[in-house]
A and B are shown apart, each in its own frame.
Chain A
Amino acid sequence: MSDALLDVRDLVVRYGGVTAVDHVSFSLAPGETLALNGPSGCGKSSTALAVLQLRRPDAGEVLFEGRELTTLTERELRPLRPRMQPVFQDPYGSLSPRHRIRDAVAEPLKVQGRWTGTDGPARVAELLDRVGLDPSYGDRHPHELSGGQCQRAGIARALASEPRLLVLDEPVSALDPSVRAGVLNLLADLQDDLGLGYLFICHDRAVVRHFADRAIEMREGHVISA
């Protein structure tokens, strides 16, 4: 598929003698949500890390916006990394406890050379507002936020890089049910407005059924149904 945002072909990830991901293939269109579903240990998080090239796969291809990533050097990957951003399960573990929310959201802008003294702070406030956080939360540290607020801050940080793909690894699994719905609604809004593709890893079938356009189910490293 040439218009795919992400095209994964025969992906293999091994840890020592264990094959965690065994020839997994799928593709994802812009603006689409593809869920990876399965029990713990089925290889869904290893797939996510390999897609992001945070763990280099042992075999297979990962085409992101048409470019093969697995053969690129770290230096070659660097300009592409902002366009594919992770959001992890543990909202507190994803943000440095020592940095204020404002600084966590500003960091990608600074690293990518898009920070100016005049526009930067306004951009951070805009991002916080975009994820449903009052910009005054920027002054706080992660431990002063609830789990749901913290996860919103993590999403704002991911958005700062202006990504096309979000790899969401159990983004709502640590949240209380009454808070989870709000974060899922936020993700749906962002996708509608920005046309983001979501690789959505989730073990909760009810959430997958409600939220994803398509789902593939993994078991022991294999795709068992697509």
Chain B
Amino acid sequence: MSSDALLSVHDLRITFDGIEAVRGLSFDVRPREVLAIVGESGAGKSLTARALLDMLPRGASTSGTIEPDLAAHRGRRISLVPQDALSALSPVHPVGDQLAAAVRSVARVSRKEARSRAIAALDRVGIPDAAGKARAYPHEYSGGMRQRAVIAMATINEPDVVVADEPTTALDEEHRDQVLRVLAEQREAVGAALVLVTHDMDVVRDHADRVLVMYAGRLTELGPAEEVLGRPRAPYTAGLLASLPQHAPPGRRLPALRGTPPAPGALPPGCAFAPRCPLAADACRTEEPEPQEVEGRLVSCHRWAELPHPATKLFQAQAQAQERAQEQV
């Protein structure tokens, strides 16, 4: 554990239904930082986030260490902003009562004090007429307001770490920006670190200090967000960025990664990304790369030094070769 870490994850493995979904993951969360965890479905990002909170689904087993054990003080030192705000709130209790209960679960304060803290928290996240809205039920809130109420609940006890698991996936673009702004403000206000699980690279660019890119349950790349996004060193990161329409070169064909992410439990031998990687060599198909230090970041790739910059052309060529191969069939 490095000295400046708030939370240190070492060799985390999560097995679910007999399948190892997270396969030896190590990273730190630093005080007051925003660490984004990105990856596609099945990459293990949500399981990793849940492991930080000791909130894994039943049937999951873990090995490795997460220190210190903030999850033992869940709700006080570490808290969750879930994807689906509606199911995070009880439908049969007023929102204010639920926030007050969160306060009283960790602090010996009077009901009246808890209630006034709840109203103040709703006010801070920009809920108009907070005192009145505290008496309302979740179904009387709009989608964006509900998500803000959940952010208020996650930050009301001033935790050290807030884990947000795809907090904006269910929202459209306008609400997305608004909710992320509120989340950033509240995190700043209480001085918490934020672990932000997302698949949205624009969110990473706008909000993260560091980014952990996961693929098939492993660390692919971890480093300062601006540098990783500006010049990815792992071919998967580069391919993912190149395939986004907002970064695409003019013309209608997007640089595309061939194939699909592997299903957990059906991994190829060697590097899990090798079958889709335009740089894959023999070593990649036999030996899984370990994270290594490259220019102030961690990269798991045998071939990182061969990756051109920008890598767009590499993936365009790959997409074109794939099309040609199909035409010949």
Contacts and interface: CB of A to CB of B under 8 A. Distances in A.
B320 to A, nearest CB: 10
A179 interface: yes
Nearest to A207: B245
B257 A178 contact: yes
A210 B260 contact: no
B261 A176 contact: yes
A185 B252 CA distance: 7
B246 A206 contact: yes
Contact of A181 (B41, B199, B255, B263): B255
A209 B66 CA distance: 43
B172 A149 contact: no
A182 B257 contact: yes
A40 B254 contact: no
A211 B252 CA distance: 6
A185 B253 CA distance: 5
Contacts of A108: none
Given A189-B323, A210-B254, A211-B252, A178 B261 contact: yes
Interface in A136-154: 146-149
Contacts of B295: none
B67 to A, nearest CB: 32
A132 to B, nearest CB: 6
A177 B240 contact: yes
Contacts of B261: 146, 176, 178-179
Contact of B260 (A39, A146, A211): A146
Interface in B254-300: 254-258, 260-261, 263, 276
Contact of B245 (A40, A203, A211): A211
A185 B257 CA distance: 11
Contacts of B254: 181, 184-185, 210
A44 B284 CA distance: 46
Contacts of B60: none
Interface residues of A, number: 27
Interface string A164-203: 0000000000001111111011001100000000000001
Interface residues of B, number: 31
A205 B177 CA distance: 14
A180 B246 contact: no
Given A146-B260, A189-B323, A205-B173, A178 B240 contact: yes
Which of A181, A184, A189, A209 counts the most B-chain CB atoms under 10 A from its CB? Answer: A181
Contacts of B87: none
A177 B319 contact: no
Interface string B59-98: 0000000000000000000000000000000000000000
Given A178-B257, A205-B173, A184 B245 contact: yes
A134 to B, nearest CB: 8
Contact of A39 (B173, B252, B255, B323): B173
A39 B174 contact: yes
A129 interface: yes
A180 B243 contact: yes
A178 B243 contact: yes
A63 to B, nearest CB: 28
A206 B245 contact: yes
B239 interface: yes
Interface of B: 40-41, 172-175, 199, 201-202, 239-240, 243-246, 248, 252-258, 260-261, 263, 276, 319, 323, 326, 329
24 contacts: A39-B173, A39-B175, A40-B172, A129-B329, A146-B261, A176-B40, A176-B199, A177-B201, A177-B240, A177-B243, A178-B260, A178-B261, A179-B257, A180-B243, A181-B245, A181-B255, A181-B256, A182-B256, A182-B319, A185-B256, A185-B323, A203-B173, A207-B245, A211-B252
Interface of A: 39-40, 129, 132, 146-149, 176-182, 184-185, 188-189, 203-207, 209-211
